[in-house]
A and B are shown apart, each in its own frame.
Chain A
Amino acid sequence: MADDQVTLTIDDQTVSVPKGTKVVDAAKSVGIEIPVFCYHEKLGPLGCCRMCLVEVEKMPKLMTACTMDVGPDMVVKTTTPKVEKAQKGVLEFTLLNHPLDCPVCDKGGECPLQNNTFKYGPGDTRMDFHRAENLKAGPLSPVITLDRERCIACQRCTRYSEVIEQDNALVMHNRGFNNEVGTFNNEPYDTRFSGNVIDICPVGALTNSQFRFKARTWDLTNSDTLCAHCGCNCNMTLGVRTNKFMRIEARPNDLVDDGWICDKARWGYDFLESKNRLVEARTVPDNGTMVFSSPTTQDAAVRTAEAIKKIVDEHGPESVGFIGSPYGTNEELYLYQKLFRLGFGTNNIDHKTYADSPGLPIDHYDVSEIETADLVLVIASDPTEELPILDLRIKKVVTRHGVKLAVLNDQATLMDKYAHLSLRYNIGSDAGVFAALTAAISGEGMADIKTTGIKADQLKSLVEMLRASKKVTLIYNSSALTGQSVAVLKQLMAMIKNIPSIECGAIPAVPHTNAVGAMDMGILPDYYPGGVPVADGEAIQQTWGETAPTQPGLSAMEMIRKAESGELKALLVYRANPVVDFPGGKQVEEALKKLDLLVVHDMFETETAKLAHILLPSNGPGVDDGTTTNIGGRVQFRKGGLKTAHPPDWKIISLMANTVSEEGDGINYITSFSVTDEIAKNVPGYAEISKKSIKKEGMTRVSSASINATGAVSKESSPPKPEALKLRIANYLFAHNTILDATSTLAHHFKPSIVHMHASDAKKLKLKNEDDVVVVSGDTQVSAQVEISNRCNPGGVVLPNISDEQGVWGLANSRDSVTWVEIRKV
């Protein structure tokens, strides 16, 4: 709109930008560089360094371009002699106490101070005095090095801490010449997002301790890639030198990450060189099926395909199955489901143990839609621990854009602090709450909510908040819901959509990297790719041919059960670790042991891999190319970086497919993008996705409409024993597992096992803070320490999953209903 545009002249160029734009950004938009130090577009103006001085007609003094809004008909000059003199002067001052460190400084080659000095600096100094001496290089945290001598006190890092992470953990101490960056009492600055200060520091004061002195920045081969740790799919740059991992930096993509990454991205890639990596294919010789002990991966893949095929021929297609991973790429998952459906004729395909189905009754919102909503409703999701970058985005819109935040969860999260309304339901009461909310919105009056832990007036406030909003973004984590309540939640969504004044969309916030992609690619027993139900025979045969199976297959948990009973003979597990991550623990292990053939295709020697008859190594992120679909439905390219002679997964899978396909039927893909192209052809919603279309900032795929979800609120289960409590397993970002192993750079974040309980339950059980207890369910026990808190309502406990070793999932029997546990003092 013309009203919101301002036209001005910068260096004789006419520039038209939205009202409120700073002169420095307006100049940038037409390729005119105004040097800055303290200014950063995500932090907003401060005006402390004076690097950005420009001349503005009719203004007597030089102005700071970073603090000045554009004005109509403004005439700005950035290269006049007056400006140049000022720039020289400012730089001379900035450099007064700066050491001549460039030859030994990690920032060298990508340092704004170095660059600005070369371009605009005085070339000499009149400083004859002794320079101030200060801390040279000390740990600001176990992963960040601070060099106070290099600091130019621009305050970018401390303002990041204040404005973005909003914890004010990093601050400026003292004043004037003694101004210095620091923390409270010199405690380590080790927050979840601390590493971003390294990227934004315009000098070499804050550097990555892991990368220190490893390479000169200009010697790095940088690969534009994505983080593979969670469903945010933040953009990052992977720096490699001589085929060795060097470092990770943020690569801003506003639509995805808003310019930041969390510390798990920056320092969570030690796994690339982990000792636990599977490097060679292996077969277990005495398994009967297998003949060689150290085959090549190609051989092992061919054997795998033949062996599974043989079992299919002998016992029928329902005797084999595939458990995939929400961490695989779209290409890998697509090929695997195709192999199992068309190659082996089975729909025994799954990737999860909780209930969910593809499609939404409302729009699937892209992450950036959070910014334009006026209400964000977070349901059962803990963004801070599960999808960290979402935490920053939500904080931003709430504190700076006036967006309202409502939280509906069974556990306390850090979001509560920012929420205008935060409702805590009893563990396991999710379906009841959703149903009550649906009834309240539809005007059917308040359903019975006595047992949910939420009061009628609280629910009413939430309904009022909803009704008062124009645009609602719903963020929900179906993997934190119990039983079939996700279906009830979808009915609630449909109901919200019915309020005529509301525009509404949802972001499915399952934490895993490609959870959305795994659903889209049909890693489900009852849906083909693109959310096509197996019952839709016609559509399926059209795309997948006459032989494509149309009977629903077994879910992952059913496959485990059928393995136990002997009905399932062969299982291929791809980048999943059911022994640790599936409900059942030991039982899962026993079941898998009964299989005639267990193939594990993974990057690591996991607990499940130990049981395998055939092991196929997977290169995984950092090496293999592929696309993933983030929580906002945005498909992006995750490029490899490190090179290996070992074949990528998509090749291994297509080799298996070609092995079992009829003569001449095989397809030879040239790159991962050949598979992407096939996905575009065969998967509804992905038609527009191609190498080209996703190149710059990715592209959202079209979400499938949800098949009318029916989910009744099941009766609340009653405690097996009066003192039993309901268990909620929570996520912890820096859990100690295969990805962050004992040697991880992030090991200082590992936590002990803690069980959070309400004071009233603790009193009943005669427990106090720090008591050592075991959390017991059946014959599984998990050790923990008691922490009395308001993390959940009375009647339940929250147990964060802090490590693989802790084995929390062993406590659960299934996800069909809530798990009851006993807490026993030891």
Chain B
Amino acid sequence: MFAFSKEAEKKIEKILKKYPEGRKRSALLPLLTLVQRQERHVNPDAMREIGRRLDLSPAYVQSVCSFYTMYSNKPVGKYLILFCINISCQLNGCDELLAHTAKKLNIEIGGTTEDMKFTLHREECLAACSGGPMMRINDTFYENLTAEKIDQILGSLD
């Protein structure tokens, strides 16, 4: 069974107030984000719960949830690395850096380390092209990456 945490409930109260009567479906993405943060993934029980609160069919919630790459259907690590592989980053050598990162973490691209610390995903353009190659870890952008820089960043996270 899924339940929102106390803090999440408080946030939901605030979020729902932002939307006018009859428009509460607009709170879908923020609520999905809350679940993703709380559980590090969104499972069907949570989708049902969100649907119930926002008067949406669970299928609709799942549809939206599966559209966005920032929601995942199985738990991700404490640090979710989204590695940009789009054109600007690619021209600046993201492919090698991505491979380097995977090797360093000893996981496949798309996988999660055994200790549930890191998950590594490919991502399309994150709109920081001028700083490519780049990656996003949770809410932080890291730009102008090099192999050394990556090692240092990964090492600094606990």
Contact = CB atoms under 8 A, between A and B. Distances in A.
B144 to A, nearest CB: 29
Interface in B56-80: 56-63, 66-67
A185 B43 CA distance: 10
A170 B67 contact: no
B57 A173 contact: no
Given A184-B44, A185-B44, A168 B56 contact: yes
A170 B59 contact: yes
Q: Chain B contact residues (Cβ within 8 angstroms of A): what range?
A: 10 to 19
Interface in A466-501: none
Contacts of B58: 184-185
A175 B67 contact: yes
B85 to A, nearest CB: 14
Interface string B37-60: 000000010011000000011111
B59 A174 contact: no
Nearest to A183: B59
Interface residues of chain B: helix, strand, loop or mixed (majority) = helix
Interface residues of A, number: 13
Interface string A165-181: 00111111111000000
Contacts of A174: 66-67
B62 A168 contact: no
Contacts of A168: 56-57, 59-60
A792 to B, nearest CB: 24
Among A167, A168, A182, A183: residue with most chain B CB under 10 A: A168
B63 A172 contact: yes
B60 A173 contact: no
Contact of A167 (B48, B57, B61, B63): B57
Contacts of B67: 173-175
Nearest to B56: A168
Nearest to B47: A184
Nearest to A166: B57
Nearest to B51: A184
Contacts of B60: 168, 171
B62 A171 contact: yes
Contacts of A184: 44, 47-48, 57-59, 61-62
B62 A173 contact: yes
A141 to B, nearest CB: 13
B74 to A, nearest CB: 14
Interface string B8-52: 000000000000000000000000000000000000100110000
Nearest to B58: A184
Contacts of A183: 59
A237 B149 CA distance: 69
Given A167-B57, A184-B58, A173 B63 contact: yes
A158 to B, nearest CB: 8
Contact of A169 (B48, B57, B61): B57
Interface in A119-174: 167-174
Nearest to A169: B59
Contacts of A172: 63
Given A174-B67, A175-B67, A185 B62 contact: yes
Nearest to B69: A175
Nearest to A170: B59
Contacts of B59: 168-171, 182-184
A669 to B, nearest CB: 53
A167 B51 CA distance: 12
Nearest to B55: A417
Contacts of B56: 168
A118 B26 CA distance: 43
Contact of B66 (A167, A169, A170, A173): A173
Contacts of A167: 57
Contacts of B62: 171, 173, 184-185
Contacts of A185: 44, 58, 62
A113 to B, nearest CB: 24
A172 B44 CA distance: 16
B23 to A, nearest CB: 15
A168 B59 CA distance: 7
Nearest to A174: B66
A175 B63 CA distance: 9
B109 to A, nearest CB: 17
Contacts of B57: 167-169, 171, 184
Interface in A68-98: none
A174 B66 CA distance: 5
Contacts of A175: 66-67
A506 to B, nearest CB: 31
Contacts of B47: 184
Among A168, A172, A183, A184: residue with most chain B CB under 10 A: A184
A434 to B, nearest CB: 32
A172 B61 CA distance: 11
A420 to B, nearest CB: 12
Given A167-B57, A171-B62, A173-B66, 14 more contacts: A168-B57, A168-B60, A170-B59, A171-B60, A171-B63, A173-B63, A173-B67, A174-B66, A175-B66, A182-B59, A184-B57, A184-B58, A185-B44, A185-B62
Interface of B: 44, 47-48, 56-63, 66-67
17 contacts: A168-B57, A168-B60, A169-B59, A170-B59, A171-B60, A172-B63, A173-B62, A174-B66, A182-B59, A183-B59, A184-B44, A184-B48, A184-B58, A184-B59, A184-B61, A184-B62, A185-B62
